[in-house]
Structures are given as structure tokens and as C-alpha cells.
Amino acid sequence: MTRDQVRQAVLDIIIDIAPDEDFSAIKDEENLRDQFDLDSMDFLDIVMELRKRFNLEVPEKDYPELISMASSVEYLFPRLKDWKLAS
């Protein structure tokens, strides 16, 4: 996966969790929970979806790495770069 594909994968997960939010102006450096009014259960849903979709375990100690879109991509890219998307 490219960085853009990782970003889109995270965005797709968030859209599934919070479908009523406006995702047209995401600020990559801002806290995702604040931008989209996500609560702790929503955040855990994101982590669980990463596990489900990509067989990727995110240890609790690494949760702060998923605070913004930019930090999420930085954290996930090395772990997903060899992941092949279905055509």
C-alpha cells in the first residue's frame, strides 16, 4: 500500500464508524477524535477494524500513534506497505 492508500483505508474505517460526519475538510495534523466527535468506543472500533481488515494488532501502548490522520499514516504505513489491495 502507498501512504495515500493507507490514508484512504483509515478514512474508510472512520466513515463506516461515523457516517454522518463531514469528511470533506480533514485536517491531517488535528486530533481525529476532536474533528469527528469520536468517543473512546469509536476509537476502539477503529482499532478493531484495523485488525479485522488488515490482520493488524495495534497494542494499547501504541494508541497515541493513531491520534491524527498524519500520525496514523506514519504509524500504519510501515506495517501495511506490503499489504496488497484487492483489485
Q: Going by CATH, does the domain composed of 3-80 fall within 3.30.1180.20?
A: no
Average pLDDT, the chain: 91
Grid cell for residue 19: 457516517
Residue 71 pLDDT greater than 80, yes or no? yes
At 56-65, the pLDDT tens digits run 999 999 999 9
Residue type at 17 in one-letter notation: I
CA 22/CA 53 separation, integer angstroms: 23
Per-residue confidence band for 11, with pLDDT thresholds at 50, 70 and 90: very high
At 30-63, the pLDDT tens digits run 999 888 888 999 999 999 999 999 999 999 999 9
CA 25/CA 77 separation, integer angstroms: 22
Query: What are the structural domain ranges in the chain?
Result: 3-80
